[in-house]
């Protein structure tokens, strides 16, 4: 019952995450164009392509690459990420990111599911460091944008559909991007949030704050029975009872529906609980 | 073994995805032959200024003269519209660039004012096409201490301008890239000057109003790249394509290098 309540509330928030940053519907009609008003200077900590005709705000990954290309330190973007990250960690990934929402929706399709090893989730930092920061600086090009499936979905496809004059420009790079999108869309059906766990550079940046953010998850180890419910409902396959503030945690809160009421959202200001019993004592 | 293989496939797939982002786009930047030589005339005007309309005619005749003489190349002319005596459609649309150049040259009081390679011209010179042509020819003979090479890439919503400055001697100064409208033609004159057609009006400045500080060693180069968002149209005004101008000026306002290219749309 609690799970259904939090799910409904989260879905509502995720729908808002799709609508609000993409509210410039005029971009699709009457000579399709991109919004370039003042709201475009706002960077939200979500993966939402700013080349989408309806995009009102900017993508931090895209903006970071542009700063890398011009070899300038992006104080503004790092500041925004630090503020959001220090306050709530990866909460935006779980509650507001449109691409995360797409992954959640596609995973609901009833098919046999595949588990991916959690050991390799460090690869998202490789995408962040190489794809967003270093390679754009070295080859003066927005490397991650060229492979970003969200960019293909929100900008690549609509731009080609709306602007016939762009179609002759679609060559290998465009079709590679579409192939990457198809690959990920397929992966979303069979496995839990693979993009967020292995690739997303925005998530990688925010994840650095998960263990120190004001909002955090705590596990009452006296109540925890190690039943594995939290891992079962977790959209990123975390063993919450072991590491509730893992760098992969997207703060969706589904684990707080724990039947034993052992997992809950708290803040760093909450009183410290009694020391946790060793896991080996329980196993 | 099977588990190891799936891990290898996962890492390999992610590596291929990342590396495919390094593929170069097949949109080749265009590097047109410049129709301009490296002498720059900066003309401060306003639609409410009748004298400015007269000077605009002088500027047109200067262009025409150089089109038909020597190698057919023209001086670079750029027009700014500060809010003197009042704001006008060009100022209202892009106040940043108009204010930036106005404050750079300290233009106050009255218009028109004209600067040739950073030096203010006397009104007796800029009102007389022969006098200004003579000044331009003299300026053309002087070799600038640096040269600029530009190429551009036009997309649906922006113009990417990139290039290189090569210095013949060690120098430092501010680098500006400016986007101008080649022609802006109103159906009805927007001001009391009666002028309906305006040429090379500045619409954007990059990377910032104050430019970018650049220091180059002798025989070394500096690379630059700026993205201009395509500007909004002015209501009741037909416009043509753009000309991009890159200029490097030192603190004494002396033009160290300048280059302009026309953008074809």
The per-residue pLDDT for range B64-110, each reduced to its tens digit, is 999 998 788 999 999 999 998 888 899 998 888 999 999 999 998 88
Residue numbers of the domain that contains B157:
36-263
B31–chain A Cβ distance below 8 A for any pair: no
Query: Residue B240 pLDDT more than 70?
Result: yes
Residue B27 forms part of a structural domain? no
> Number of structural domains, chain B?
1
Domain assignment present for B238: yes
Alpha-carbon gap: A3 to the closest alpha carbon of chain B (Å): 32
Q: What's the pLDDT score for residue A101?
A: 96
Longest dimension (CA), chain A: 67
| Average pLDDT rounded to a whole number, residues A151-170 | 85
Asked if A198 and B24 come within 8 Å (Cβ–Cβ), the reply is no
> B87 in a domain, yes or no?
yes
Q: What is the pLDDT of residue A69?
A: 86
Percent of chain A with pLDDT over 90: 66
Contacts of A111 (CB under 8 A, 6+ apart): A189, A190
**Is B18 a domain residue?**
no
User: Which residues contact residue A139 at a Cβ distance below 8 angstroms, ignoring those fewer than 6 apart?
Assistant: B22
Higher pLDDT pick, B262 / A34: B262
Q: Specify the pLDDT at position A238.
A: 92
Cα distance between residue B165 and residue A165, in whole Å:
33
Cα–Cα dist B39/B142, whole Å: 9
Question: Residue A30's pLDDT is what?
Answer: 67
Return the closest-CA partner of residue A217 out of A262, A266, A270: A266
Q: Of the given ranges (B13-22, B41-50, B116-125, B159-168), which has the lowest mean pLDDT?
A: B13-22
End-to-end CA distance of chain A: 29
Mean pLDDT of A218-241: 91
How confident is residue A37, by pLDDT bands cut at 50, 70 and 90? confident
H/E stretch holding A9 reads helix A2-19
In a domain, B110, yes or no: yes
Q: Does B11 touch chain A (CB under 8 A)?
A: yes
Averaged pLDDT for residues B166-176: 92
Looking at residue B26, its pLDDT comes to 60
State the ipTM, two decimals: 0.72
Of the CA atoms within 13 Å of residue B71, those in its CB half-sphere come to 9
- What is the token pair recorded at B250? 């030192």
Residues of B in contact with A163 (CB under 8 A): 156
Task: Tell me whether A141 touches chain B (CB under 8 Å).
Answer: yes
Considering only the beta carbons, identify the residue of B17, B24, B229 that sits closest to A147: B17
> What is the separation, in whole angstroms, between the first and last Cα of chain B?
58
Of B7, B14, B225, the CB nearest to A199: B14
pLDDT surpassing 70 at residue A2 = no
Which tens digits make up the pLDDT trace of A271-281? 766 556 655 55
The pLDDT score that the predictor gives to residue A118 is 84
Query: Does the pLDDT of residue A88 top 90, yes or no?
Result: yes
Q: For the beta carbon of residue B41, count every other beta carbon within 10 angstroms.
A: 24
Query: Is it the case that residue A258 has pLDDT exceeding 80?
Result: yes
CA distance A138 to A146: 15
Least confident of A118-127, A265-274, B94-103: A265-274
Q: Which residue of B has its CA nearest to A166?
A: B156
In a domain, B4, yes or no: no
Partners of A117 on chain B (C-beta within 8 Å) are: 6-7, 10
Residue B164 is predicted with a pLDDT of 93
Residue B2 domain flag: no
Phi, psi of A98 (to 5 degrees): -65, -30
Listed in sequence order, the residues at least 6 apart from A207 whose beta carbon sits closer than 8 Å to its beta carbon are A89, A90, A124, A247, A248
Residue B1's pLDDT is 67
Half-sphere exposure of B147 (CA within 13 A, CB side): 7
**Chain A residue at shortest CA distance from B227:** A66
Question: What percent of chain B is modeled with pLDDT above 70?
Answer: 96
- B257 - beta bridge partners? B248
In angstroms, the separation between the Cα of residue A119 and the nearest Cα of chain B is: 9
Answer whether A141 sits within 8 Å of B22, measured CB to CB.
yes
Pairwise CB contact (< 8 Å): B20 & A36? no
pLDDT at B27: 62
Contact B10/A116, CB-based, under 8 Å?
A: yes
**pLDDT surpasses 80 at B30:** no
Compute CA distances A164 → B43, B91, B240, B264, whole Å: 40, 34, 22, 19
Report A:152-191 residues touching B (Cβ under 8 A).
159, 163, 165-166, 169, 171-173, 176, 180, 183
pLDDT in the model for residue B94: 87
Q: Which residues in chain A are contacts of B96 at CB distance < 8 A?
A: none
How confident is the prediction for chain B on average, in pLDDT? Answer: 88
* Diameter over CA atoms, chain B: 89
Report the residue from B10, B24, B157 with minimal CB separation from A34.
Answer: B157
Instruction: Tell me the chain A residues in contact with residue B27 when contact means C-beta distances shorter than 8 Å.
Output: 169
Q: Is B10 on the interface with A (CB under 8 A)?
A: yes
Structure confidence at residue A89 (pLDDT): 94
How many CB atoms neighbour CB A252 within 10 A? 23
CATH of the domain at B82: 2.60.40.10
d(Cα B97, Cα B204) in Å, to the nearest integer? Answer: 6
Res A60: pLDDT: 95
How far is A206 from A210, CA to CA, in rounded Å? Answer: 7
Please say if the pLDDT value at position A154 is more than 90: yes
Tell whether B7 is covered by a domain. no
Of A33, A163, A173, the CB nearest to B23: A173
Spatial contact of A205 and A257, defined as CB atoms under 8 Å apart:
no
Contact A143 B10 (CB under 8 A): no
């Amino acid at each position: 019952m609690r799970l259904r309540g939090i799910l409904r509330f989260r879905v509502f928030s995720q729908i808002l995450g799709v609508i609000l940053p993409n509210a410039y519907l005029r971009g699709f009609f009457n000579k399709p164009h991109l919004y370039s008003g003042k709201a475009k200077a706002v960077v939200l900590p979500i993966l939402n392509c700013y080349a989408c005709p309806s995009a009102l705000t900017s993508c931090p990954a895209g903006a970071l690459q542009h700063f890398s290309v011009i070899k300038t330190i992006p104080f503004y973007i790092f500041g925004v990420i630090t503020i959001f990250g220090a306050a709530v960690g990866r909460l935006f990934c779980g509650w507001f990111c449109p691409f995360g929402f797409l992954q959640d929706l596609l995973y609901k399709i009833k098919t046999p599911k595949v588990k991916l090893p959690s050991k390799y989730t460090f690869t998202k930092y490789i995408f962040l460091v190489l794809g967003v920061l270093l390679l754009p600086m070295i080859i003066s090009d927005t490397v991650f944008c060229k492979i970003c499936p969200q960019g293909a979905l929100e900008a690549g496809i609509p731009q080609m559909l709306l602007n016939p004059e762009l179609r002759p420009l679609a060559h290998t790079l465009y079709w590679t991007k579409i192939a990457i999108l198809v690959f990920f869309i397929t992966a979303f059906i069979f496995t839990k949030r693979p993009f967020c766990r292995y690739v997303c550079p925005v998530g990688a940046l925010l994840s650095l704050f998960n263990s120190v953010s004001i909002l955090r998850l705590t596990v009452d180890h006296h109540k925890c029975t190690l039943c594995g419910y939290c891992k079962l409902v977790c959209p990123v396959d975390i063993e919450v009872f072991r590491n509730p503030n893992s760098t992969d945690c997207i703060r969706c809160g589904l684990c707080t529906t724990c039947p034993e009421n052992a997992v809950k959202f708290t803040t760093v200001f909450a009183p410290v609980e009694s020391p946790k019993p060793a896991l080996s004592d329980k196993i | 073994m099977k588990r190891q293989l799936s891990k290898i496939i996962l890492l390999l797939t992610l590596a291929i995805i990342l590396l495919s982002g390094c593929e170069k786009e097949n949109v080749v930047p265009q590097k047109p032959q410049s129709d301009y030589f490296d002498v720059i005339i900066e003309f401060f005007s306003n639609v409410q200024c009748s004298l400015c309309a007269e000077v605009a005619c002088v500027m047109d005749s200067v262009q025409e003269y150089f089109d038909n003489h020597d190698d057919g190349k023209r001086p670079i002319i750029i027009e700014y519209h500060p809010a003197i005596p009042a704001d006008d459609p060009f100022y209202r649309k892009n106040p940043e660039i108009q204010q930036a150049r106005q404050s750079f040259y300290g233009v106050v009081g009255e218009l028109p004012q004209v600067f040739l390679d950073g030096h203010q011209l006397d009104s007796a010179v800029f009102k007389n096409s022969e006098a200004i042509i003579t000044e331009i020819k003299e300026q053309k003979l002087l070799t600038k201490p640096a040269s600029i090479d530009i190429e551009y890439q036009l997309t649906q919503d922006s113009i990417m301008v990139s290039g290189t400055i090569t210095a013949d001697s060690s120098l430092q100064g501010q680098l500006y890239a400016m986007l101008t409208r080649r022609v802006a033609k109103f159906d009805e004159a927007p001001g009391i000057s009666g002028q309906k057609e305006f040429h090379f009006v500045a619409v954007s400045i990059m990377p910032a109003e104050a430019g970018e500080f650049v220091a180059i060693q002798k025989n070394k180069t500096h690379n630059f790249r700026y993205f201009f968002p395509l500007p909004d149209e002015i209501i009741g005004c037909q416009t043509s394509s753009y000309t991009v101008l890159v200029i490097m000026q030192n603190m004494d306002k002396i033009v160290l290098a300048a280059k302009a290219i026309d953008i074809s749309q």
